[in-house]
Chains A and B, each alone.
Chain A
Amino acid sequence: MNFDLTEERQMLQDTLRRYLSDKYDTASRNKIIDSDAGMSAEVWAQLAELGVIGALFTEEDGGFGGKGFDISTVFEELGRAGVVEPFLDTAILGGGLLAAIGSDDQKALVEEVIGGGLHLALAHGEPASRFDLSRVETTAKADGGDIVLNGRKAVVVNAEAADHLIVSARESGSAADKDGISLFLVEKDAAGLTMRGYPMLAGGRAAEVTLDGVKVPASARLGEAGKGFAPLMDVIAKANVALAAEALGAMHSAVELTREYLTTRKQFGRPIGTFQALAHRYSDLLIEMEQATSAVINAAGHLEVDAAERDRQIASTRNLIGRVGRLVAEESIQMHGGIAMTKEYELAHIAKRIVMTDHRFGDTDYHLERFIELSAA
C-alpha cells in the first residue's frame, strides 16, 4: 500500500496549483464566466502547454498519463480553483472516444486536442433521457453511402466552441436498448445542425442541439455500427472519476474558506469559530472530507479493473461525493452567512460547482440505485 502520488503526478499537481493560484483568482475567473465565450482561450492554451491535457491520455495515445490517478490529480486541482474551461468535454469525453475507437484519421485529431488546438463536445443526452445512458432516440439511417442523423440533444456542454461534435444515434433497436447505438464525428458547421447556446449556472456554456437531416459519410462513424454503448460507458467512467475529483477539489476550497472565515470573522467580541455550535459542524465537515478523499481514491484506483467492479466503485464514489458535496456546499454557506451568498465571494462559485457536478452523468440517487443494482448482480 502506498497512498503517495508518484513523482510525476506530484509535479503535475504542484505546477497546476501554482499556475491556477497565480492566474485564476476570483476576479479573473468571474470575468471569464461573464464573457461571451464563457471560457478563456489564453488559459486553455497555457494549461495545454503545461501538459494538463496530455496528462489525461496514455503514452500510446500521445499523452503521458491517462490512468485514473492522472485524471483525479488534474481534476482535483481544476476543482480547487473552480475552473470552468471544458477539459472534461474536450479531453476526457471527446478526445477519450477518438483515442479509444477512432479510425486512424480520427485518432490523428487527438494530437491537436493534446496541443490545445481543437475543441470537442459529446452530444449524447436527450431532452427525455435524464441520466439513462442507453436512452437514445436520435436516429441514424443509411442513405446510399451516407448516414442521415435526426434528433435532439440536450445540455451539450461546450457545443458552441467545439470543432466537432460526437453524436450518439440509434441505428437499430428500441429507445432504451444498449445495442444499436452508434457514435458519429460531426463537424460543427454541418448542414442541418443547429444549436441554441446558453450559459450555465456554475459557469461555462452548453447548447440544445438539433439534428435535422444531417448527412455524414459512413467514415464519420466511430468504431463499429451499433456498438457505441460500451466505449461510451468507458469514457463516462473516466468522466465520473473526473467529476468526483473536481467536486472534491472544490470541496477542499470551500472548507478552507470556511476555516479562514471562522477564525477571522468576529461577532459577540470573538471569532465565530470559537462558538462550539460552529466548531463542531466544521469538524464534521473535516471528517466527511476524509471520506470524500478516500472515495475518490477508490474510484480512480478502480478505473482500470473490469467494467462491472469499476462501475460499482464509481457509483459508490459518486453517491458519497454527492452527499458530502451538498453538505459541504450548504454548511459552508451557512457558516459564512450572507457574504457567501454574494456573487463576488469565491465560495459562491465554488458551492455552485460542487452542487452542479451532481447533475452530470447521474445524481446522488441515480448512483445509489446503480450501486444497489450492481452489488446485487
Chain B
Amino acid sequence: MDLNYTAEEVAFREEVREFLKEKLPKELSAKVKARKHLSKDDMERWHAILNEKGWLAPNWPKEFGGAEWNAVQKHIFEEETARAGSPRIVPFGLSMLAPVLQKFGSKEQQDYYLPRILNGDDWWCQGYSEPGAGSDLASLKTRAVREGDHYIVNGQKTWTTLGQYANMIFCLVRTDTEVKQQEGISFLLIDMNTPGIEVRPIILLDGVHEVNEVFFDNVKVPVENLVGEENKGWTYAKYLLTHERTNIAGVGYSQAGLESVKRIARAESANGKPLIENPYFAARLAQVEIDLMAMATSNMRIISKAAAGQAPGVESSMLKVKGTIIRQELNDLARRAVGPYAMPFPSESVEGDNDPIGPDYAAPVSAAYFNNRKLSIFGGSNEIQRGIIAKVKMGG
C-alpha cells in the first residue's frame, strides 16, 4: 500500500502542468471556469492544440497516432486539465468511435477515418438512443435494408449531443427483425449530408441547444460504411460503452466544482459573515468533500488495477453512480450558495461577455444545476448501473 505517485508519475504531472500553463489559451480556460458555453470553434481550437502535442488521443495505440498512456497517466491528465479549466475533449470520434474502428473496422476505414478524427476533418455524433429505446437500447427500431450496394435507412435517433455540428454519425440500426433483438443490430457510419437526413434541435430546460433529434427518410448508405459484420453491432456497441465509461467518476470535475463552490461561499455573506463560515452550509460542503476524498481513492484503486492490466468490472458502474451523485450535490451547493441571485436567467451573460446581473459567479449556477441532472440519466442511467452491479454480484 502506497498512496504516493511514483517519480515517473510525478514528472509526468509536471510535464502536463507545464504544457497547460504554456498552451491552454487563457480565454478558453476563463470561459470554462465561468461555465460559459463553448463554441464549436473553441472546442476545435483546443483539439488542434492537443493534436499538435500528440495528446489528443490518450487512449489510442501509438500505431494509430495516439499517446497510448496507461490508466494512471490518463487520470493525471484528466485531473490536471479539469483543474486548469481546459475544454472537455469532445468524445464522440476520439473515445467512442475510434476504439471500435481500431478493433472491428476494416483497414480502409481505419486509414480513412482515424486521421480525419485527429485532424478535426470530421465531427462525429452518436446515433444510439431512440424515442422508444432509451435504457432499453436493444429495442431500437431504426431500420436498414440492404439494396444492392447500399443500405436504405429509415427511422429516428434522439438525444444526439452536438449533432448540429456533426458531418458524420455512427448509428445502431436494425438489419434483422426475425432474430433476438440483440442479434439483429448493425453498426453503420453515415454521412450527415446524405439526402433524407434531417436534424431538429431539442431545447433543454436551461434553454440550451445541446441535443438533437435526427430523422432518416430513405437514406442511402454505401455498404462499405458497415463496421465489422452485419448483425454484430450489439457487440461493438457494448465495446463502445465500456470506453464511454472511462473517466466515469469525474473526479477532476468534482474537484474543480468543489473549489468553485468554496470560492463562491467565501465571497457570499450570510448574516454579515462569509457563507463558508455558516455552520449549516459548511456542514453540507464538508460532507461532499469527505465523500469526494474517499471516491478519489476508490477511483485510484480501480485505475491502479487497470494500469496493471486488469479490466474494471462493476466498479465502473459503482463509480458512475457515486461520481454523478457527488457532482450533482456540488451543483446543488453552488445554486444554494448564491441565494436570491440563483433566480435570474441570464442567458446573454452565460453566452457572451455582457455585464453579469449579480456577482459574476452567480450567473451560470442555476442553469448548470438543472442541466447536470442529465449526469445521472445519460451514459446508462444510474438505475441501469445499479441493475448491472446487482446482477453481476449476485451472479445473475
Residues on A lying within 8 angstroms of B by beta carbon are 125, 127-128, 130-132, 135, 154-155, 157, 175-176, 196, 198-202, 206, 208, 266-269, 275, 277-278, 326, 330, 333-334, 337-338, 340-344, 348-349, 351-352, 355-356, 358-360, 363-366, 368-369
Residues of B within 8 A of A342 (CB): 202-205
Which residue on chain B has the smallest CB distance to residue A130?
Answer: B339
Which residue on chain B has the smallest CB distance to residue A278?
Answer: B383
Which residue on chain A has the smallest CB distance to residue B382?
Answer: A334
B340's contact among A154, A268, A334, by CB below 8 Å, is which?
A: A154
Bound-state Cα–Cα, A128 to B370, Å: 25
Residues of B within 8 A of A130 (CB): 268-271, 275, 339-340
CB pair A356–B343 under 8 Å, yes or no, is yes
CB pair A202–B270 under 8 Å, yes or no, is no
CB pair A125–B377 under 8 Å, yes or no, is no
Residues of A within 8 A of B332 (CB): 326
B113 within 8 A of A: no
A267's contact among B136, B340, B346, B374, by CB below 8 Å, is which?
A: B136
B215 within 8 A of A: no
A-B contacts besides A333-B373, A337-B381, A365-B278, 10 pairs, CB < 8 Å: A154-B358, A198-B345, A201-B342, A201-B343, A202-B343, A334-B382, A342-B202, A355-B335, A356-B343, A360-B343
Bound-state Cα–Cα, A206 to B134, Å: 38
B357 within 8 A of A: yes
Which residue on chain B has the smallest CB distance to residue A270?
Answer: B136
Bound-state Cα–Cα, A352 to B207, Å: 12
Which residue on chain A has the smallest CB distance to residue B136?
Answer: A267
Residues of A within 8 A of B275 (CB): 130
List 7 A–B pairs whose Cβ atoms lie within 8 Å, in order of A's numbering. Answer: A135-B271, A267-B136, A343-B207, A348-B204, A352-B205, A356-B366, A360-B340
Contact mask B157-187 → A, CB, 8 Å, 1/0? Answer: 0110000000000000000000000000000
B272 within 8 A of A: yes
Contact of A338 with B134 at beta-carbon distance under 8 Å, contacts A277-B386, A330-B373, A348-B205 already known: yes
Main secondary structure of the interface of A (DSSP, over half): mixed
CB pair A132–B270 under 8 Å, yes or no, is yes
Contact of A337 with B343 at beta-carbon distance under 8 Å, contacts A342-B202, A352-B370 already known: no
Which residue on chain B has the smallest CB distance to residue A272?
Answer: B135
Bound-state Cα–Cα, A255 to B340, Å: 26
CB pair B343–A359 under 8 Å, yes or no, is yes
B102 within 8 A of A: no
B341 within 8 A of A: yes
CB pair A131–B383 under 8 Å, yes or no, is no
Bound-state Cα–Cα, A202 to B345, Å: 8
Residue count of chain B within 8 Å CB distance of chain A: 55
B247-297 with Cβ < 8 A to chain A:
268-272, 275, 278, 280-281, 284
CB pair B346–A198 under 8 Å, yes or no, is yes
Residues on B lying within 8 angstroms of A by beta carbon are 129, 132, 134-136, 139, 158-159, 202-207, 211, 268-272, 275, 278, 280-281, 284, 328, 332, 335-336, 339-347, 357-358, 366-367, 369-371, 373-374, 376-378, 381-383, 386-387
Contact of A341 with B358 at beta-carbon distance under 8 Å, contacts A154-B341, A201-B366, A365-B284 already known: no
Residues of B within 8 A of A157 (CB): 343
CB pair A206–B344 under 8 Å, yes or no, is yes
Bound-state Cα–Cα, A343 to B371, Å: 11
Residues of A within 8 A of B342 (CB): 201, 356, 359
Separation in Å of the A281 CB from the closest CB of chain B?
A: 9
Bound-state Cα–Cα, A360 to B345, Å: 15
- A-B pairs with the 8 shortest C-beta distances? A348-B205, A267-B136, A201-B345, A365-B280, A130-B339, A343-B203, A155-B340, A359-B342
B336's contact among A268, A338, A365, by CB below 8 Å, is which?
A: A365
Contact of A176 with B386 at beta-carbon distance under 8 Å, contacts A337-B134, A369-B280 already known: no
Residues of B within 8 A of A200 (CB): 343-345
CB pair B357–A198 under 8 Å, yes or no, is yes
Which residue on chain A has the smallest CB distance to residue B332?
Answer: A326
- Among B129, B373, B382, find the residue whose CB has the most chain A CB atoms closer than 10 A: B373
Bound-state Cα–Cα, A269 to B139, Å: 9
Which residue on chain A has the smallest CB distance to residue B209?
Answer: A343
Separation in Å of the A194 CB from the closest CB of chain B?
A: 14
CB pair A155–B336 under 8 Å, yes or no, is no
Bound-state Cα–Cα, A135 to B272, Å: 9
Bound-state Cα–Cα, A125 to B339, Å: 11
Contact of A338 with B159 at beta-carbon distance under 8 Å, contacts A344-B203, A348-B205, A352-B370 already known: yes
Bound-state Cα–Cα, A366 to B271, Å: 10
CB pair B358–A127 under 8 Å, yes or no, is yes
Separation in Å of the A341 CB from the closest CB of chain B?
A: 5
CB pair A155–B341 under 8 Å, yes or no, is yes
Which residue on chain B has the smallest CB distance to residue A369?
Answer: B280
Bound-state Cα–Cα, A366 to B268, Å: 14
Which residue on chain A has the smallest CB distance to residue B158?
Answer: A338
Contact of A341 with B346 at beta-carbon distance under 8 Å, contacts A130-B270, A267-B136, A278-B383 already known: no
CB pair B336–A334 under 8 Å, yes or no, is no
- Among B136, B345, B366, B386, find the residue whose CB has the most chain A CB atoms closer than 10 A: B345
Bound-state Cα–Cα, A318 to B47, Å: 48
Separation in Å of the A345 CB from the closest CB of chain B?
A: 8
Residues of B within 8 A of A275 (CB): 383
CB pair B378–A338 under 8 Å, yes or no, is yes
CB pair A341–B270 under 8 Å, yes or no, is no
CB pair B204–A343 under 8 Å, yes or no, is yes
CB pair B203–A208 under 8 Å, yes or no, is no
CB pair B339–A359 under 8 Å, yes or no, is yes
Residues of B within 8 A of A201 (CB): 206, 342-345, 366-367, 370
